[in-house]
Chains A and B, each alone.
Chain A
Amino acid sequence: MGSQTPIFALRYPFETETVDPTHFKNLADDIDAALDLIDVRKAQVLNKPALRLRQETDHTGVASGATAIVTWDTVDYNPNGWWNAGAPTLIALPAGIYQVTVGHAQIFGGTGMVQSALDIQMPSGTTWSRKTTAYSAGVTAGTSHHAVVYTATPQNLRITWSWWGSAGTGTNPSTALAIRQIKPL
């Protein structure tokens, strides 16, 4: 007998019922169950999926105008397993919307370097967003890039870099990447 509230189904007796300890127990149990749901949601909010990786091994021998794929070799934070060592260039993202920040301090080595670019590719092989940096010949510089990416299906994301100049090959000594899920889909 009795009724329940519409959202969390908290049970309570009808006004004409004789109340006994079972009514109190039912209500207490239902409040406990509701608090459990809130705890689950709290955990989801406080632990939104995220990732931070670094490339610390020099990436050398890249010609002017070539597209070089960043290979990640240092894991700072990967609790959701978006990255694995078996496919070190790829970040496997579930469907969702993500905030992506990536950057490197410098590209050097080529002759007369005048521009570099940092691409966020998703899916792998397709540029979602590019950030280009121009500088005076002979002065090397890095690029930092931030974008919001969206995928309705699980998708691989990867980072590429490029440089342009007159001759020689370029080196990227390090790159850092951080991804945060804004919302799942």
Chain B
Amino acid sequence: MRFTDPSALPIPDPEDVGATALFLQAFARRTEEALASQYDTLGLALNPPMFIVNNASVVNSGAAVSILDLGTFVNTSNDIYRSNNGTAGDRVFMRTGLWQVGFTISASVTGTVNNNTHRRGRLSIQLNDPVSGLSSETEDLSYTHTEKNVGSATSVSAEKLIYVPPDSARSSGGNYGRFALYFNHGNTSSTMQIAAGGAKVWGFWISDDELIRSA
């Protein structure tokens, strides 16, 4: 018996004529493997891994504050939505490939507003190698807004494309991300407050890091 390239579908030789039933069995099984591979790949594109998390409780910021640390939970975090990403409340498992990540923070002054002072949000992403336990990659994104003495809720947001490399053992098909969201401001006359749900971090997988063979 020979096989096609690249899907390895069986092709009977003349001496296989007496084993036609066996050949059909092998053909059916190998065909299913090839079809299932395409179906699963399309399923990944249709429902990509992703997560959205926010702060479940109010955050009061004297000057600088860490809002969300998915590794240690400085503040209680609330998973809005999480898929395929490991244990809830822990690191986020990120499939190898290209991801789009972002954050938004909405904060309000609790008292006196100081004109021309900054409001800054920063998201730090640390990709941990589950084999060595060491940080293999770190990404940062931030946005700074200048208060113009209007006293309204201020919002800072940013997004970025990042590449998640496979872990060093190439056994898990991904890597673990630890996200830390920070907010700081220069409004020295009063504190600022982030309402529950006012800070959000999200990420969604876009594509693999290898070419996928087309049908």
Where the two chains meet, the residues of A that have a C-beta atom closer than 8 Å to any C-beta of B are 3-8, 10-19, 23-24, 27, 30-31, 34-35, 37-38, 41-42, 44-45, 65, 97, 114-115, 117, 127, 129-134, 145-148, 150, 162, 164, 182-184
Contacts and interface: CB of A to CB of B under 8 A. Distances in A.
20 contacts: A6-B32, A7-B35, A8-B35, A10-B29, A12-B24, A12-B29, A38-B38, A45-B46, A65-B152, A97-B204, A129-B155, A134-B148, A147-B157, A148-B52, A148-B202, A164-B152, A182-B50, A182-B204, A183-B47, A183-B50
Contacts of A27: 24, 27-28
A42 B147 contact: no
B200 interface: yes
B133 interface: no
Contacts of B31: 10, 31
Contacts of B153: 127, 130
A5 to B, nearest CB: 4
Interface residues of B, number: 45
Contacts of A127: 106, 153
Contact of B152 (A13, A19, A44, A117): A117
Given A27-B27, A130-B106, A148-B204, A10 B154 contact: no
A38 B35 contact: yes
B36 interface: yes
Contacts of A130: 104, 106, 153, 155
Interface string B154-168: 111101000000000
A74 B178 CA distance: 42
B145 A132 contact: yes
